Amino acid sequence: MSNSTGPLYEVIYAVENAVRDDFETWLRDLQTRALRETGIEDARGYEADGVTDDTFRITFRFRASDDHAMDLLLDGFFGDIEGEAADLFGTHVDSSSRVLREDASRQIPLAESSNCLNCGTRLRGQYCGSCGQRARSRLISLWELLSEAFGDLLELDSRLWRTLIPLMVRPGQLTRDYLEGRRARYMPPFRSYLVLSVIFFVVAFFDPQEDLSIFFEPPPEPTAEEIAQAEEDALAAAADKEQKITEAKEKLAELDAEGIFPEALVEEIADDDDEFDIRLASDDRNDFFDNCEDASLSDEEDMPEWLKKRLTDERVQTICERNKARGVENFGGAIVDNIPIALIVLLPLMALVLKLLYPLSRRYFVEHLLFFIHFHAFFFLILTLQILFARVIGWVSLDGAVSTIILVATSFYIPVYLYKAMRRVYRQGHVVTIFKYLLLLIAYLTGATTTMFAAFLVAVLSA
């Protein structure tokens, strides 16, 4: 096969004679399918040296139309056929593969090195055969720069979309494929997790009209009629509140006269922001941060001694004053900032739980960790879609009942997804999986509560 028009993808198969007939049938079918594949110009096999009484060797070569087609095929078709051969013939067939490119120095600009500028390997074509970096070092156009930055997002056949679709609709498939060696077609697991988590927190906590208010037009000034109407509404609301408070005091006086409830226990009656509030004299609603002078943990008997030595009264009061100074909004923001770290800490804890639930699976700890990395990536993706959907229906004023049903259904899909993922990855029966699923849910809720409480404590103590 000539390589004058494009690079070659070569696979060398070592096949046991016991499956030779079945393998040759599969290989003929593979050749037919390959010739229909976009980007493949030719496909044929050769019987290679090294035949023994037990095995024979076949070299099969696919010629791609160009380097770009080869890159797409490596991520897609070629990766699929490797997995297909492993599924059909198992250990009866061993294979090795490589990419052969024409060593044409004219493809490399004279002003640049004939060795890879990244790893130093001798270049054979436009891409390094060792690290994969492109030979050309200069960016020719702005479009090339943008395509490199957003190529995975804009290309429908990119690894991004080939990762998101099975992540959404095929629970556990990404984990199973990764563990079985089919990895090149998908985004790396932890990168997927980080990208989706960043997108979620941006969508959930970033409000353009608030955070970028300077770029939006201010609301129009109210007219004189609107101002008069607002003042009239405020006076009516104040009168209504006063009426409610008066009626409450009269009712309390009646209860006191009848000996049902002593009026002296009531310290204050208020109606703030449409919330009717009766405050008892013994009801201490002052926030912890409003009483920093009395803040102390030295009297806590259940606190470990090592913690008491570190949280002295002076330190507690200093922390209290700092939290009081930064306000409720900044304090809430500090908690939100700690949530991503808490979720990352939760990953290995849940992987340890899976390790305990599947002691006979012969899987390493990192394989269980991979399961939860993919699950959390899905979790961030579904929450992001829910938030975007809720905002869209708010803009277009869709039927509230329909939107509620959709949001509830997608929320129920999350636990169903976890169960199906466990079934697909660990391949156990329904009864055993349901039992372990319930234990995992209990452990997950406990771990999530613990890590969120830890995020709260860190926010308090880091003031």
Q: Is there a contact between 261 and 275 (Cβ–Cβ < 8 Å)? A: no
Q: b or e along 407-432 (b: 16 or more beta carbons within 10 Å of the residue's beta carbon)?
A: eeeeeeeeeebbbbbbbebbeeeeee
Burial of 218 (0-12, 13-18, 19+ CB in 10 A): exposed
Q: Is there a contact between 113 and 85 (Cβ–Cβ < 8 Å)? A: no
Report the Cα–Cα distance between both ends of the chain, in Å, rounded: 70
Classify residue 134 by its DSSP letter.
B
- Report how far apart, in Å, the C-alpha atoms of 106 and of each of 113, 141, 376 are: 12, 21, 48
H/E segment holding residue 169? helix 159-169
3-state secondary structure of 48: strand
pTM of the model: 0.55
H/E segment holding residue 271? strand 266-272
Classify residue 274 by its DSSP letter.
T
Q: Is there a contact between 10 and 74 (Cβ–Cβ < 8 Å)? A: no
pLDDT at residue 347, as a whole number: 92
Predicted confidence pLDDT, tens digits, the chain (463 residues): 444 567 888 888 888 888 888 888 888 898 888 888 888 888 888 776 655 667 888 888 888 888 888 888 887 888 888 888 888 888 888 888 888 865 444 444 434 446 777 777 766 666 676 777 766 655 556 666 566 655 555 555 567 788 888 999 999 999 998 888 888 778 888 888 988 888 888 888 776 666 555 666 666 777 888 888 888 888 888 788 777 777 777 776 776 676 665 655 555 555 555 555 555 554 444 444 556 655 565 555 666 666 666 666 677 667 677 666 666 556 566 677 778 888 889 999 999 999 999 988 888 999 999 999 999 999 999 999 988 888 887 777 666 677 788 888 888 999 999 999 999 999 889 999 999 999 999 999 999 999 888 887 777 666 5
| Token pair for 453 | 């409480």
pLDDT at residue 419, as a whole number: 94
pLDDT at residue 124, as a whole number: 61
pLDDT at residue 3, as a whole number: 42
Classify residue 127 by its DSSP letter.
B
> Which residues are bridge partners to 271 per DSSP?
276
3-state secondary structure of 247: helix
**1-102: what CATH class?**
alpha beta
Q: Is there a contact between 265 and 255 (Cβ–Cβ < 8 Å)? A: no
Q: What is the rounded CA–CA span in Å between residue 434 and residue 376?
A: 20
CATH 3.30.70.100 placement within the chain: 1-102
pLDDT at residue 69, as a whole number: 84
Amino acid at 266: V
